[in-house]
Amino acid sequence: AAILFQNKEYISTFLYFKGIELDGNAVGVFNLDLLKGILVVELDKSRIQRILLECADRVNPAVLRAVLTIALNIAHKGREGKKIGTAFVIGDVEEVLKRSNPLILNPYKGHPEKERDITNPETWESVMEFAQLDGVFVIGEDGIIEAAGRYLEVSGKDLKIKKGLGGRHLACASITRETEAIAVVVSESGDIKIYKDGEEILEINASIL
């Protein structure tokens, strides 16, 4: 049963990253050592669809899709052959900026919105380049990148995250507890995590996609 569930979630996640709407049913054929057969997946009942709906009241779904697509690209390829970690804090910009400080001069300051719109694929190359910097990206719920290289000044007191995760994950979980923002964190190991209200709500293993 666990294998079936994992494969159903894999199919849903795979289709999401291919830009296919998670609506209706999908059929998957699998051929495992222990199990062979056909899976019918109710896409609108998948975990990733449920999480996306949970976030939709705070962040435009198209913005979250763009951020997750970039995160997956970074998790797969890193930058210049090197694995990197980074994070995106989306929404509630004013409160996030109040709780963060610049580590560098903001590379997005003064640029027109078109060049800062994360839903525009033409901006993705610069995002992946700046992902090598310390700090996080701060992005509006409308997808406009407000800053990169921000250090989050938040308390992780009494916040529980999985063992083995570092300061980036703790800070991002904390900022979502103190604000209405959603955070997407990419680990150097290739995992992608989404945080909301101080809790991890989704983990994506990029290596299987």
Do residues 74 and 6 both lie within one domain? no
Do residues 36 and 63 both lie within one domain? no
Do residues 9 and 68 both lie within one domain? no
* Domain contains 20: yes
* Domain contains 132: yes
8 lies in which domain range? 2-46
Do residues 114 and 72 both lie within one domain? yes
CATH code of 118's domain: 3.40.1700.10
Do residues 10 and 82 both lie within one domain? no
Question: pLDDT band for position 5 (50/70/90)?
Answer: very low
Return the top range by mean pLDDT from 81-85, 158-162, 195-199.
Answer: 195-199
* Domain contains 130: yes
- The two tokens of residue 33 are 């050592």
- Count the domains in the chain: 2
Do residues 15 and 109 both lie within one domain? no
Do residues 91 and 188 both lie within one domain? yes
Q: Supply the DSSP string of the chain, one letter for each residue.
A: -HHHHHHHHHHHHHHHHTT----SEEEEEEE-SS-EEEEEEEGGGSHHHHHHHHHTTTS-HHHHHHHHHHHHHHHHH-BTTB---EEEEES-HHHHHHTEEESS--TTTT--GGGGBTTSGGGHHHHHHHTTSSSEEEE-TTSBEEEEEEEE----TT----TT--HHHHHHHHHHHHSS-EEEEE-TTSEEEEEETTEEEEEEEGGG-
Q: What is the pLDDT of residue 41?
A: 55
* Domain contains 35: yes
Do residues 166 and 203 both lie within one domain? yes
Q: What is the pLDDT of residue 53?
A: 81
C-alpha pair distances (Å), 100 with each of 137, 146, 175: 11, 12, 9
Do residues 143 and 64 both lie within one domain? yes
> What is the per-residue pLDDT across 89-107, written as a single tens digit (0 to 9) for each?
999 999 999 999 999 999 9
Do residues 42 and 72 both lie within one domain? no
Q: What is the pLDDT of residue 35?
A: 56
Its pTM stands at 0.82
Q: Which residues, 6+ apart, have CB-to-CB distance to 29 below 8 Å?
A: 37, 38, 39
> What is the per-residue pLDDT across 138-152, written as a single tens digit (0 to 9) for each?
999 999 999 999 999
> What is the per-residue pLDDT across 22-77, written as a single tens digit (0 to 9) for each?
566 655 566 666 656 665 556 565 677 778 888 999 999 899 989 999 998 898 88
Sign of CA dihedral 139, 140, 141, 142: negative
**What is the C-alpha R_g of the chain?**
17
Do residues 129 and 183 both lie within one domain? yes
Q: What is the pLDDT of residue 50?
A: 78
* Domain contains 51: no
Average pLDDT over residues 158-166: 85
